Amino acid sequence: MCPYLDCDGDAVIDAVDWAVIRDHHAQYPERPRWGDVYHWE
């Protein structure tokens, strides 16, 4: 259920709204790009 290969999380449990992630990482694109890995910290 992970959104990308080699992910050890669970998209249902670990999912965070993209707008919340961008609040902390303004350099991330407005919409995530397929295949790119973004880190939430």
pLDDT at residue 12, rounded to an integer: 73
Which residue segment(s) compose the domain that 37 sits in?
1-41
Q: Is-contact 28 38, C-beta < 8 A?
A: yes
The DSSP 8-state label assigned to residue 26 in this structure reads T
pLDDT at 3: 61
- Count of the separate structural domains present in the chain: 1
Residue 8 CA from chain centroid, whole number? 13
Question: How many H-runs (helices) and E-runs (strands) does the chain carry?
Answer: 2, 0
Which pLDDT value is given to residue 4?
A: 66
Question: pTM, whole model, 2 decimals?
Answer: 0.59
3-state secondary structure the chain: CCCCCCCCCCHHHHCCCHHHHHHHCCCCCCCCCCCCCCCCC
Question: Which pLDDT belongs to residue 38?
Answer: 85
Instruction: Report the pLDDT value the prediction gives residue 29, as an integer from 0 to 100.
Output: 95
pLDDT tens digits, 1-41? 566 677 777 767 777 888 988 999 999 999 989 888 888 76
